[in-house]
């Protein structure tokens, strides 16, 4: 018996040894020892993956630099970069494919990183998702969305179910064909929003309508996705398990994670950033949610999307997550995903030309029918034909979400390599056609095209007007005292009260959709408006001590600085505002930061360039006439040289001169050479100047607070010297940006002008050499679209 046990034991040991030998594999390093030890780094997965990332980022950025001027989006450039490195172009060469980058040694590692990039990308997309988009243009949005989805789906599905059985690469079954039809007909909100952001059309009327329609499409898509996840299960029992698992994940997200997120936001002091520990924890959570989604049999992207929906967009948490995560994801991780897609796009895999023609018919039909459907329903919504066509192009652009869907189909073998290549290239070509058409041919309609809005300047407002409307934009709380002092100096009276629209401009971070909302329509106790609420309170405090009737309507404007001016113009057009006041970009640089200074300067330049009314840039040096309930006084100086902008400044000064608490000094500087010789245009300009000066003097007869001085100089150099010699104890200096004297044009004085947006004289009085840099300056510019003076005196 003992012998048998011994033999059995030996047999077991021998068997285990044999099994151990069978599963043993040689150890393979993932990194090289270096070229000095004769190792080729590209023979090892880790350095090979790093090489691929570097090469892809460089190629993608180079393509972006080349194709962006042609109207192409970053999506197009990234996908083209992946395709160029794939088997369709460089990878078709066997040496490159096997030795340099396409040997397959690093597939698992880089593919995992690419999937992580997708997880974080969909998470950030859902964080920035704003349900306010659902309310924008809701009536027309519903019509365009439903018709733009249902009609193409019906037409395409009838074609798909007719000929799909003869297309060899479509092997996903009946329900997959329905998914294919719907996917070709959907307009995904993240794709549309990202494309419009790159095209600077997010704040346009048509852009907001497109995003509203895409939002409704997204709701339909999520409902279909849930149904699809349940139906594709092998049995009813498995479908029920999927439904229960999904419900449990949703409940866990809403009732466990969401309260924790609210607690984090609550613990963050107002106006301060979220602690790094909380941000790091939230950055890890998408991976946790992706892991949970995979455990219950769902796609890993489902969990991060749910998580993103419960994170409040905007500051403090949503903005912090986007700022600290998005760059790495969009510039490093996502290009790697495009590279993995490019590796599977192989134009040489197309060999069944009969199937190719049939699938191309389906794809072409879906795109054409969608364009026709959106155009027709837009015409029914009283949108002009040209704009209706552009709207259909916006709704037809493709992006990251489509690639994720197509990649998932290929992963489950619902489509083969040829069909995948065909569908991806069709989406790429469609976007490459639609994007430049929208960028170069679509011009947002402007309210100033009407004759009525073309006369919006200060001079066009009657002196006895029942209300003086002014729009004041500010970026931080430090600008408010100067704005309220300017409003008080503008002479609010019972016969002509001031209606001020004050707009808190906030850069769009952590949100996907620009917004311009009246402050009083939002929840007053909402944390996201706490900063604006404090600023509005400062204006409310001013109303209590104002000497005359002032009405203030506060707004919060959230948009990218590159297109923020469009939202501002829309408000000014709607309210028929003749004057917009914006802060100088160098006001309070310690508060806004260097990057924000450049963004504000670009915003100011856009306002001056495209405004349909008069614009004033307020240089804040700390106004020395503080408001109080007891007394207010302000000493104002105006340099009048002549021209449309100076006339606007004089018209504004005329209103101020009626304020008994404002002292006014006007320096009229004339060039002797211009008094003798004038061409026809200069004579017209001079007559307009004289007419306004006579009106101003007549209005101020008996006003002992007005000091009018006439000064004559020989040339531009003497003019600038005269300005420097007229320093005094002023609280505010006003000047026009452009002048009738051609020697003061910005182009000819560019060497001496540091801030072109202030003009030649404005730059002088705003410098530290004038009054020690302690005087506030208001630089006035009439709209470039207004009359004769708009084309005089510089850029």
Identify the helix (H) or strand (E) that includes residue 419: helix 417-441
Residues 6+ apart with CB under 8 A from 582: 473, 603, 604, 607, 615, 616, 617, 618
Q: Are 498 and 551 in contact (CB under 8 A)?
A: yes
Q: Are 129 and 135 in contact (CB under 8 A)?
A: no
Q: Are 569 and 611 in contact (CB under 8 A)?
A: yes
Task: With a cut of 50, list the residues of the chain below it in pLDDT.
Answer: 1-7, 11-12, 14-15, 17-21, 447-453, 521-529, 787-795
Report the SS3 class of residue 415: strand
Which one-letter DSSP state was computed for residue 529? G
pLDDT number for residue 92: 76
| Cα separation, 537 vs 388, whole angstroms | 43
Name beta bridge partners: 556. 504, 517
**Closest to 285 measured CA to CA, from 252, 331, 316:** 252
pLDDT digits (tens, 9 = 90+) for 715-740: 778 888 888 888 888 889 999 988 76
The Cβ of residue 408 has, within 10 Å, a number of other Cβ atoms equal to: 13
The full set of domains in the chain, from first to last, is: 35-441 (1.20.1530.20), 458-522+529-781 (3.40.50)
**pTM metric for this prediction:** 0.74
State residue 633 phi and psi, 5-degree precision: -145, 150
pLDDT number for residue 638: 93
Name beta bridge partners: 170. 415
Identify the helix (H) or strand (E) that includes residue 182: helix 174-185
Q: Are 696 and 650 in contact (CB under 8 A)?
A: yes
pLDDT digits (tens, 9 = 90+) for 72-90: 888 898 888 888 888 888 8
| Cα separation, 329 vs 106, whole angstroms | 20
pLDDT number for residue 7: 45
**What is the average pLDDT score of the chain?**
80
β-pair type (515-518, 550-559): antiparallel
Name beta bridge partners: 415. 170
Query: What is each CA distance from 64 to 198, 481, 763, in whole angstroms?
Result: 12, 44, 37
Share of the chain above pLDDT 70, in %: 83
State residue 475 phi and psi, 5-degree precision: -110, -20
β-pair type (662-671, 498-507): unpaired
Q: How far is CA 26 from the centre of its chain?
A: 52
Count of residues making up the chain: 795
DSSP E strands: which ranges in 308-463? none
| Cα separation, 601 vs 675, whole angstroms | 37
pLDDT number for residue 729: 82
pLDDT digits (tens, 9 = 90+) for 629-678: 567 888 999 999 888 899 999 999 998 988 888 899 999 988 776 655 66
Written in H, E and C, the secondary structure of 90-140 is HHHCHHHHHHHCCCCCCHHHHHHHHHHHHHHHHHHHHHHCCCHHHHCCHHH
Identify the helix (H) or strand (E) that includes residue 396: helix 385-396
Residues 6+ apart with CB under 8 A from 392: 148, 370, 371, 372, 373, 374, 375, 378
For residue 315, is it left (φ>0), alpha (ψ between -120 and 50) or beta?
Answer: beta
């Amino acid at each position: 018996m003992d012998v048998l046990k011994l033999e059995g034991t030996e047999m077991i040991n021998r068997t285990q040894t044999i099994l151990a030998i069978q599963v043993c594999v040689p150890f393979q390093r993932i990194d090289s020892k270096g070229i000095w030890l004769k190792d080729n780094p590209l023979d090892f997965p880790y350095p090979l993956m790093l090489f691929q990332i570097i090469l892809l980022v460089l190629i993608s950025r180079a393509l972006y630099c080349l194709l962006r001027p042609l109207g192409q989006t970053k999506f197009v450039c990234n996908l083209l970069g992946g395709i160029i490195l794939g088997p369709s172009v460089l990878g078709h060469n066997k040496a490159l494919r096997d030795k340099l980058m396409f040997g397959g040694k690093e597939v698992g590692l880089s593919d995992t990183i690419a999937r992580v990039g997708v997880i974080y990308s969909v998470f950030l997309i859902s964080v920035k998702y704003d349900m306010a988009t659902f309310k924008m243009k809701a009536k027309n949005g519903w019509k365009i969305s439903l018709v733009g989805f249902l009609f193409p789906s019906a037409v395409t599905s009838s074609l798909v179910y007719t000929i799909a059985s003869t297309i060899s690469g479509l092997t996903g079954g009946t329900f997959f064909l329905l998914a294919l039809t719907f996917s070709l007909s959907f307009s995904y909100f993240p794709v549309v929003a990202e494309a419009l952001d790159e095209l600077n059309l997010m704040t346009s009327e048509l852009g907001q309508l497109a995003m509203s329609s895409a939002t409704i499409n997204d709701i339909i898509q999520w409902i279909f996705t849930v149904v699809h996840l349940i139906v594709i299960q092998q049995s009813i029992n498995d479908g029920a398990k999927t439904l229960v698992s999904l419900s449990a994940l949703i409940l866990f997200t809403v009732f466990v994670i969401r309260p924790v997120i609210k607690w984090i936001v609550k613990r963050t002091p107002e106006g301060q950033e979220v602690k790094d520990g909380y941000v790091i924890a939230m950055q890890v959570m998408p991976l946790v949610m992706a892991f949970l989604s995979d455990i219950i049999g769902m796609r890993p992207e489902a969990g991060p999307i749910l998580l993103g929906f419960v994170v409040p967009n905007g500051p403090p948490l949503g903005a912090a997550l986007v700022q600290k995560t998005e760059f790495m994801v969009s510039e490093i991780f996502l290009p790697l995903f495009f590279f993995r897609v490019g590796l599977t796009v192989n134009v040489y895999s197309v060999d069944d030309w009969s199937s190719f023609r049939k699938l191309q018919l389906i794809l072409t039909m879906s795109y054409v029918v969608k364009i026709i459907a959106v155009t027709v329903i837009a015409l029914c919504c009283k949108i002009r034909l040209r704009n209706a066509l552009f709207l259909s192009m916006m709704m037809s652009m493709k992006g990251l979400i489509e690639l994720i869907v197509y990649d998932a189909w290929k992963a489950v073998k619902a489509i083969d390599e040829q069909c995948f290549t065909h569908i991806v290239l069709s989406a790429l070509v469609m976007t490459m056609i639609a994007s430049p058409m929208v960028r170069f041919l679509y011009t947002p309609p402007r309210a100033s095209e009407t004759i009525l809005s073309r006369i919006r300047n200060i001079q066009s407002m009657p002196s006895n007007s029942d209300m003086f409307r002014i729009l004041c934009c500010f970026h931080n709380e430090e600008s408010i005292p100067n704005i309220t002092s300017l409003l008080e100096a503008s002479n609010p009276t019972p016969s002509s009260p001031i209606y001020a629209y004050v707009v808190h401009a906030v850069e769009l971070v952590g949100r996907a959709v620009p917004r311009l909302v009246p402050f009083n329509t939002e929840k007053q106790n909402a944390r996201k408006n706490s900063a604006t609420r404090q600023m509005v309170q400062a204006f409310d405090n001013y109303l209590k001590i104002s000497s005359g009737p002032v009405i203030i309507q506060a707004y919060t404007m959230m948009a990218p600085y590159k297109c923020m001016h469009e939202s501002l113009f829309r408000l000014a057009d709607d309210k028929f505002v003749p004057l917009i006041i914006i802060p100088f970009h160098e006001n309070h640089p310690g508060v806004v930061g260097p990057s924000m200074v450049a963004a504000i300067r670009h915003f100011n330049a856009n306002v001056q360039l495209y405004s349909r009314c008069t614009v004033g840039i307020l240089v804040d040096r700390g106004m020395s006439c503080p408001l109080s309930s007891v007394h207010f006084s302000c000493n104002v100086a105006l340099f009048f040289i002549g021209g449309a902008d100076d006339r606007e400044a004089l018209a504004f000064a005329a209103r101020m001169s009626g304020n008994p608490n404002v002292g006014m000094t006007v320096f009229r500087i004339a060039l002797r050479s211009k008094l003798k010789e004038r061409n026809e245009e200069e004579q017209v300009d001079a007559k307009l100047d004289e007419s306004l000066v006579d009106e101003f003097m007549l209005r101020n007869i008996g006003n002992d607070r007005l000091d009018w001085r006439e000064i004559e100089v020989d040339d531009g150099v003497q003019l600038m010297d005269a300005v420097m010699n007229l320093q005094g104890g002023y609280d505010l200096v006003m000047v026009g940006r452009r002048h009738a004297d051609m020697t003061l044009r910005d182009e000819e004085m560019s060497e001496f002008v540091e801030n072109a947006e202030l003009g030649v004289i404005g730059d002088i009085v705003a410098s530290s050499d004038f009054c020690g840099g302690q005087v506030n300056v208001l630089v006035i510019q009439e709209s470039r679209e207004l009359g004769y003076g708009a084309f005089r005196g510089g850029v």
